[in-house]
C-alpha cells in the first residue's frame, strides 16, 4: 500500500510537478524524490481544499457509510498540506499503492513502460512491430501489456476491440493488415475521447447524484454483458480473459 518509511520521507516536502505515465500518477517532490501513485482496480484520489471544495478521480465507490471528503473505512492514506487542504486516498480492495522513490529508481520504473498510445511515436508501423513481438498472445491481453503499450486498461481494451470489430480472444498473428489498421485507429480514437470527456469515472464524487464520468455513457461494451449490442442487437457475451471481465459481440466482432 505505501512504501517503507513513507511518512518520514514525504513529511515537509513540496509538490513541484504532477504528470502521468501509463496508469501511474507521478508527483515530483522537492529533495529529488518522486511520489508514485497507482489506483489499481478500486483506488480513488480526493482532494479537499481548505474551504471544503472537492475534486478527484479514480474509481467510484458505492457504499452507504462512505463519505468521499472524509476519512472513512476505505481511506488508506491522508496527505495534509500546510494550507489545511488534504489529499485522501480511498481504496476498497487495497491493490493500489503509493511509493516514494529517488531519481534512479524513478528512471528505472519509467523505462520499463512501453509506448504511450496517445503519443506521435505510436504510429501504425510501431503498432505492427509490437504485434510482431507477441504473435501468440491473445489480442486483448497484448493491448493490456504495459511493457508494450502503456496505459490501455480493461475498459479501453474492450471498447477498442469492439470499435475495430475484432474478437478479444484472437491471436495477434491472425490479424489481417486491415484489422491491425482499424484497431490502431480505434485505440487512438477511444483514448482521445476518454481524455476529452474526463475519463470513465472521474467526477463521480463531485456529483451529488453519484453519476459517473461522461465516458461511462459512451461505453459500448464495458459492463454490458448480457445486454443488446448497440451495433447489431445481438446479446453481448461476457467471459474472463487473463482474469479480467471481457465483453464482446460474437456477431459483429470477428
Ligand atoms: Zn454486435
% of the chain residues with pLDDT over 70: 93
Q: How far is the centre of ligand 1, averaged over its atoms, from the C-alpha of 248 (Å)?
A: 8
Distance 125 CA to ligand 1 centre (A): 29
- Decide if pLDDT at 159 tops 80: yes
Q: Residue 166 C-alpha to ligand 1 middle, in angstroms?
A: 11
Strand 33-38 versus strand 24-29 pairing type: antiparallel
pLDDT attached to residue 151: 84
Distance CA 198, CA 191 (A): 10
pLDDT at 210 over 50: no
In angstroms, what is the span from residue 234 Cα to ligand 1's centroid?
5
Percent of the chain whose pLDDT exceeds 90:
70
The sheet carrying 86-91 orders its strands as 54-58, 43-48, 86-91, 75-80
Residue 134 CA to residue 75 CA, distance in Å, equals 39
Domains and CATH numbers, the chain: 6-111 (3.20.190.10), 124-248 (1.10.8.50)
Digit-coded pLDDT (tens) for 149-158: 998 989 999 9
How does 58-77 read in b/e, with b if 16+ C-beta sit within 10 Å? bbbbeeeebebbeeeebbbb
Q: How far apart are alpha carbons 31 and 10 in whole angstroms?
A: 10
Asked whether the beta carbons of 6 and 98 are under 8 A apart, the reply is yes
Compute, in angstroms, the gap from residue 242 CA to the centroid of ligand 1.
23
**Spacing, Cα 239 to ligand 1 middle (Å):** 16
45 with 39: CB under 8 angstroms? yes
Neighbours of ion ligand 1 (CB under 5 A): 229, 231-232, 234, 249, 251-252
Closest residue by Cα to residue 43 from 105, 87, 101: 87
pLDDT of residue 209: 42
Q: Which residues 6+ apart lie within 8 Å of 5 measured at CB?
A: 100
CA of 44 to the centre of ligand 1 (A): 33
- Whether 196 has a pLDDT exceeding 90, the answer reads no
Q: With 50 as the cut, is the pLDDT of residue 186 above it?
A: yes
Q: Count how many Cα atoms sit within 13 Å of the Cα of residue 239 in the half-sphere of its side chain.
A: 11
Amino acid at each position: 500500500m505505501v512504501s517503507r518509511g513513507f511518512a518520514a520521507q514525504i513529511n515537509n516536502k513540496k509538490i513541484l510537478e504532477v504528470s502521468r505515465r501509463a496508469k501511474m500518477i507521478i508527483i515530483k517532490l522537492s529533495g529529488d524524490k518522486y511520489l508514485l501513485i497507482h489506483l489499481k482496480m478500486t483506488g480513488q484520489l480526493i482532494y479537499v481544499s481548505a474551504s471544503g471544495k472537492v475534486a478527484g478521480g479514480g474509481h467510484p465507490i458505492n457504499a452507504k457509510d462512505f463519505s468521499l471528503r472524509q476519512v472513512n473505512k476505505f481511506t488508506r492514506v491522508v496527505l495534509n498540506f500546510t494550507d489545511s487542504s488534504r489529499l485522501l486516498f480511498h481504496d476498497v480492495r487495497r491493490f493500489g499503492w503509493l511509493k516514494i522513490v529517488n531519481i534512479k529508481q524513478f528512471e528505472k520504473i519509467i523505462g520499463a513502460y512501453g509506448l504511450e498510445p496517445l503519443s506521435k511515436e505510436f504510429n501504425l508501423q510501431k503498432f505492427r512491430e509490437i504485434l510482431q513481438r507477441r504473435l501468440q498472445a491473445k489480442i486483448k491481453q497484448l493491448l493490456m501489456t504495459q511493457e508494450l503499450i502503456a496505459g490501455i486498461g480493461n475498459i479501453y481494451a474492450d471498447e477498442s476491440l469492439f470499435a475495430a470489430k475484432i474478437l478479444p480472444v484472437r491471436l495477434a498473428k491472425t490479424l489481417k493488415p486491415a484489422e491491425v489498421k482499424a484497431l490502431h485507429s480505434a485505440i487512438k480514437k477511444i483514448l482521445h475521447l476518454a481524455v476529452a470527456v474526463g475519463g470513465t469515472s472521474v467526477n463521480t464524487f463531485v456529483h451529488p447524484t453519484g453519476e459517473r464520468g461522461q465516458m461511462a455513457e459512451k461505453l459500448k461494451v464495458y459492463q454490458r454483458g448480457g445486454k443488446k449490442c448497440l451495433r447489431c442487437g445481438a446479446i453481448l457475451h461476457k467471459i474472463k480473459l487473463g482474469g479480467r471481465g471481457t465483453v464482446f459481440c460474437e456477431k459483429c466482432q470477428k
